[in-house]
Amino acid sequence: MKNLLYKWGDIIFEKDVEKLANVFSVLGSPIRIKILSLLLERPYCVNHISKSLNISQPLASQHLKSLKENGFVICERDAQRIRYKISSEEFKEFLNKLISEIKKLEVIK
């Protein structure tokens, strides 16, 4: 098979590797990691996110757009605001587990 790269639990194909590389690319931004960490607490509007992270609202919006386009966050609209939240409980659990495992490796202190 030409597109087969290697076996890693399941067979990994070239298209899967490209998708995985895109995930790492999206998650490779410190601002996006901070946004996701904040959203692990609860949903927030862009104004709260920008103030909490001490970044401009347009910059926060740009990063939220990328996170939304890649399926990491979703929007909820209430009467006057749009609140962003982690897209699923499974992804929230994954992020918490990832943070926990990285702390065990002493990469994050």
Give the pTM: 0.79
pLDDT tens, 9-23? 566 677 777 888 888
**Helix boundaries (H) for 41-88:** 46-53, 57-69
pLDDT tens, 7-64? 555 666 777 778 888 888 888 899 999 999 999 999 999 999 999 999 999 999 999 9
Domains of the chain: 30-104 (1.10.10.10)
Q: How far apart are CA 73 and CA 65, in angstroms?
A: 9
Residues 13, 3 contacting (CB under 8 angstroms)? yes
Q: How far apart are CA 45 and CA 98, in angstroms?
A: 25
Rg (the chain; Cα; Å): 16
